[in-house]
């Protein structure tokens, strides 16, 4: 898990000048809605993955481990590339939005190199929270970073979904890379992080036994351009014993 690193103004200027892509400047994060021709993704967290959870005890601590997955129910793929001017700069994340007859690129944040996984992750893709019965916060994590892949097929298959996965590799393992990707989630596919993967947990040491709500929010900083921003939260009930 990682929190996006803020790029300094001077670094933004250097990267913009070197890459020659002023339209991709970090200011584009505060963007207007897409055009009518945009084939946008629609990321929706899927409850069935959250239901795959268990309690783990280790070193005197107690954890809730869980899977999490986000499906793409939109008309277009979520496709993200990374670019930077030098190894001293953050890796800028650029969403490619496909259109009828072309595409447009929009800067949506940063990638972070995750040493424990050995590849680059898109920053702040999901947020995990555990809530008491009254809705107050019992536990939470930093915003989780994901390597974006086609992992599982959505059923029933939405129109326009490829039969085979398109985004299949997180092998961009060069920490000194200036360009990475594309990573992404195709229409009708879901990116899934299983409960045994590092970071798929909440510490619950000392919490009273009882019923809680486990909640996941996809794109919690609203950086990804989507067709529907109102369906990015899912939750399930869990029992802590």
Strand order in the sheet with 43-45: 43-45, 68-72, 189-193, 152-153
Is 155 a residue whose pLDDT tops 70?
yes
Cα 43–Cα 47–Cα 52 angle in degrees, nearest 5: 125
pLDDT reported for residue 173: 73
Reported pTM: 0.83
Collapsing DSSP to helix, strand or coil, 238 comes out as strand
> What are the tens digits of pLDDT across the range 96-148?
999 988 999 999 999 999 876 678 999 999 999 999 999 999 999 988 889 99
Percent of the chain with pLDDT over 90: 72
How many whole angstroms separate alpha carbon 229 and alpha carbon 189?
A: 18
Looking at every residue in the chain, the average pLDDT score rounds to 86
Is 27 a residue whose pLDDT tops 60?
no
> What are the tens digits of pLDDT across the range 185-213?
999 999 999 999 888 999 999 999 999 99
* pLDDT average, residue stretch 151-170: 92
> What are the tens digits of pLDDT across the range 140-149?
998 888 999 9
Topology of 9-240 in CATH?
Immunoglobulin-like (2.60.40)
Is 13 a residue whose pLDDT tops 50?
no
Q: Which residue has the higher pLDDT, 123 or 33?
A: 123
Is 26 a residue whose pLDDT tops 50?
no
pLDDT reported for residue 144: 86
Is 20 a residue whose pLDDT tops 50?
no
DSSP letters, 154-207, are -SSPPTT--SS-S--------TT-SEEEEEEE-TTEEEEE-TTSTT-EEE-TTP
Neighbours of 241 (CB within 10 A): 5
Given a contact cutoff of 8 angstroms between Cβ atoms, the answer to whether 149 and 56 are in contact is no
Token pair for residue 214?
Answer: 């486990």
Query: Sorting pLDDT into bands at 50, 70 and 90, what band is 35?
Result: low
Cis preceding-peptide flag for 182 (omega within 30 of 0): yes
């Amino acid at each position: 898990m990682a929190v996006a690193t803020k790029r300094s103004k001077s670094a933004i200027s250097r990267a913009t000048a070197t890459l020659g892509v002023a339209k991709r400047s970090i200011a584009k994060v505060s963007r207007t809605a897409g055009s009518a021709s945009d084939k946008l993704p629609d990321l929706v967290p899927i409850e069935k993955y959250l239901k795959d959870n268990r309690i783990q005890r280790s070193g005197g601590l107690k954890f809730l481990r869980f899977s999490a997955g986000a499906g793409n129910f939109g008309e277009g793929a979520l496709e993200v590339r990374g670019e930077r001017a030098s190894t001293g700069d953050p890796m800028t994340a650029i969403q490619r939005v496909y259109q009828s007859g072309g595409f447009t690129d929009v800067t949506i944040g940063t990638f972070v190199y995750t040493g424990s996984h050995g590849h680059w992750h898109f920053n702040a893709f999901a947020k995990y929270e555990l809530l008491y019965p009254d809705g107050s916060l019992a536990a939470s994590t930093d915003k989780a970073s994901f390597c974006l892949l086609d992992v599982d097929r959505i059923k029933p298959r939405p129109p326009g979904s490829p039969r085979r996965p398109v985004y299949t590799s997180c092998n961009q393992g060069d920490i000194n890379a200036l360009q990475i990707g594309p990573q992404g989630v195709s229409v009708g596919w879901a990116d899934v992080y299983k409960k045994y993967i590092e970071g798929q947990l909440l510490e619950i040491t000392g919490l009273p036994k009882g019923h809680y709500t486990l909640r996941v929010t996809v794109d919690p900083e609203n950086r990804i351009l989507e067709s529907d921003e109102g369906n990015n939260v899912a939750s399930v009930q869990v029992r802590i014993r």
